[in-house]
Amino acid sequence: MSITSSSICAAAEALQGLVGYNAKHQQHIVRFSEDSFGLDVSEDSIQPCCEFVWQPLKGKLMTLSRARLGLLLEQRIDERLNISEPLRVYLHRSDLPEIIAERRKQG
């Protein structure tokens, strides 16, 4: 199977879970229910992982952030997060620029 930018983007859209910013520890944390974040995570910082990995660039353009994907990979719960092979390849190909795409934020 050939890994393309389209398959990488599709894999990013298929990520599971939620990310919130823990102000007390000044780090992003991953959970699978909004109720499990606790008081140290503001509700407005909680977003789906599939949105967290995309960072706004200009207008409708967004970049697929290797740094943010790396934060998810560090959790070592790849199956629950649905981190697939195209995303692993993308993370390790630092010789190529990050993917920039025009996309709309999901619901």
pTM of the model: 0.90
Predicted confidence (pLDDT) per residue in 35-84, tens digit: 899 888 999 999 999 999 999 999 889 999 999 999 999 999 999 999 99
Tell me how far apart the alpha carbons of residues 60 and 102 are, in angstroms, rounded to a whole number. 5
Cα distances (angstroms) measured from residue 66 to each of 15, 41, 89, 90, 99? 14, 23, 11, 8, 9
Predicted confidence (pLDDT) per residue in 5-46, tens digit: 999 999 999 999 999 999 999 999 999 999 899 888 999 999
Q: Which CATH architecture has domain 5-17+47-102?
A: Alpha-Beta Complex (3.90)
